A and B are shown apart, each in its own frame.
Chain A
Amino acid sequence: MLKLDLHEKQLHQRELGFGQVALELDDSVAAPVDQVRDLVRLSDPALSELEFDKLLDELLVRVRDLLNVDTAAILLLDEQENQLVARAAKGIEEEVEQGVRIPIGRGFAGRIAKERVAIFIADVDHADIMNPILREKRIRSLLGVPLIIEGKLIGVLHIGSLVPRVFDLRDLAVLELAAARAAPAIERGRLINALEREHRNTVMLQRSLLPRQLASTGGVTVAARYLPARGEVGGDWYDTIELPGGQIGVAIGDVVGHGLMAASLMGQLRTALRAYALDGHGPGRTLELVDRFASSLEEEPMATAAYAVVDANEGVARFASAGHPPPVLVSAAGEARVLDTTPAPPIGAFGYRTSTEQELSLEPGDTLLLYTDGLVERPKIPLSASIEELVLALQGSLGAEEVCLMAMDRLVPRLGARDDVAVIAVQLQPVTDLLDVELPARPRMLARLRQMLGHWLRGQEVDRELATEIIIAVSEAGANAIEHAYGPGRGTFRVRVERIGGLVEVRVSDSGQWRAARGQHRGRGLKIMEAAMDSLEIRPRAGGTEILMRRRVQAR
């Protein structure tokens, strides 16, 4: 039934049944010289530069042309499923489009993979093949060889003819040579592809784990940067947390290690820190709890982290560090200095331990910079020296954005960092003579309003008792705007506070309809405003109402 134009002694031929013949070539068979020369092109260095899919396509085109066949296809081994997956095809593209999968040991390709031999099918109609596409495409004869590299099967390469064809010894030799040449290129391409995919996934994961938006709250401006390492991402993160008390939490951390694992652990630690912070724990306790959380994880990650709770109103930051490099403070005048901190051991290093907390005092306009060691670690340079370099680079910088920009620009090497780098800077807003904010008309905004105003009055160096009275009056005016000027819905109200010499002038306006004070409660609010301020006017405006209040403060 099979007629092979082969010399018996050069070929070990074995019937596999169902029209399949296993062929094993003797070493003495050499492929024709001209064809081999053409095949050298398969190991062409240009091929290895091609993207993986293009590489496979190019291989198949060359094989098809070389052997003058109608179809050529590559199936790759999916080790987890123990199946062959159609990955590239010429002439039978449907194989790939439909994602054909063949179990090892079954059908034509499956047998090639299992037996690790070449298989020839003279007539598809009389053979056991699994893939219906081969029949539908009216392929008559098939020849396939295993793709093997260093004894490991990675896939199957097969060719097909639309007319009955008896593949001869030379055809087989050429195809085997093609397979031998192609296998390393495929394996390399597959590895690169997998690495690229992991890198892409990790970068994506890393990005998804970092905050898209930094918290914005009264009194501070925040900026941050993240730069993956040259070639690989790591476990650095930063975060901002709007705390229930109106303070802002600023966190930074660095999970030891690289790649997907480090990025995923980073995500877990970031979430844990955030959750403990939102629970109202101070920085020291928060890091202790993150440490405990980390030791509960199977992977037992090691990490350094720093967490600061910035209270713009009080002008302080409570700070704790777990083995993290010291923060840098840049004053409103642009003077930079390293803050002397006493870090606890890193997270995951010694099991449970206590974290000490420090209080850093901040003036309006000051910027606090937290960074990961990727920014300052240099081969053969002591850490203290490169931190000094950072301090020098930051001299004269003003504001969170500029501090981040200068830190990255001056310290990250042109070709990218060796380690990933994260920086986050928080600036206490410098005080200007005008505070002008528009807030959602919701009762919860009153606390934020009081906080912003407190910060502003502190910056204006208004006497504390006087400031308290102004805050009480403005809060009442805000409550008025929220409670009486709006029905249910989502309007806003605007608060404009201005220092004019020895005077603080406040305008609280809304765009709702003014209704007269109702009952004792709101009457009490008006009474408070009158008592706290030197003058009070309620003025209907186009489309709303404005409360104008003035209070004398000490002249400057």
Chain B
Amino acid sequence: MRLGELTLEGNGEAVYATVRGEIDLSNAEALRRELTSGICNDASGLVLDLSEVDYVDSAGLHLIHHLREDLRARGQRLGLVIPDKSVIHDVLRLAGIDWDKDIAPTVDAARRMLESPPDA
């Protein structure tokens, strides 16, 4: 298995994180630690690019769930980049999770999403 590889990059406002590969029980916890430590307090939010992620299981959803909660507690936003055809949509649907407000199909769309007022 290709362990999810993580790339972090900040552009002043938001932090951009790209994960590639698969996220499951074997690596979700490690990824969560890396992601959490990579986000500074003054960032406006996190854009988590999952467009090159081939698989996410419930441990991966758990990771994203906690990331969302942590960010929300710090007044930061999370933008998830998940293309329309991604298998992640299937997993979300089966788990009965609706994160549609935080999901965008491309990085640009996710950036715009984060820049717009939260309840617009």
Contacts and interface: CB of A to CB of B under 8 A. Distances in A.
Contacts of A448: 1
Contacts of B109: none
Contacts of B59: 479, 521
7 contacts: A448-B1, A475-B24, A475-B57, A476-B58, A528-B95, A531-B94, A532-B94
A520 B68 CA distance: 15
A527 B57 CA distance: 12
B62 A531 contact: no
Q: What 10 A-B pairs come out closest when comparing CB atoms?
A: A447-B1, A443-B26, A525-B58, A521-B62, A531-B94, A443-B25, A524-B58, A528-B94, A479-B25, A444-B26
Nearest to A443: B26
Contact of B58 (A443, A469, A522): A522
B1 A520 contact: no
A492 interface: no
Contact of A446 (B1, B2, B91, B96): B1
A244 B26 contact: no
A246 B24 contact: no
A56 to B, nearest CB: 61
Nearest to B58: A525
Interface of B: 1-3, 22, 24-27, 55, 57-59, 61-62, 65, 87, 90-91, 93-97
Contacts of A300: none
A117 interface: no
Interface string A370-384: 000000000000000
Given A528-B91, A531-B94, A245 B1 contact: yes
A66 B29 CA distance: 86
Nearest to B26: A443
Given A246-B1, A521-B58, A525-B58, A472 B94 contact: yes
Given A521-B58, A521-B59, A521-B62, A446 B26 contact: yes
Contact of A479 (B58, B90, B91, B93): B58
Contacts of A527: 94-96
Interface string A467-484: 011001101100100110
A476 B25 CA distance: 9
B2 to A, nearest CB: 5
Given A469-B90, A476-B57, A483-B25, 5 more contacts: A447-B22, A450-B55, A468-B90, A520-B62, A531-B95
Contacts of B97: 524
A443 B93 CA distance: 23
Contacts of B25: 443, 446, 479, 482-483
B61 A524 contact: yes
Given A468-B87, A472-B90, A531-B94, A524 B62 contact: yes
B90 A444 contact: no
Nearest to B54: A245
Contacts of A245: 1-2
A246 B22 CA distance: 12
B68 to A, nearest CB: 13
Contacts of A450: 55
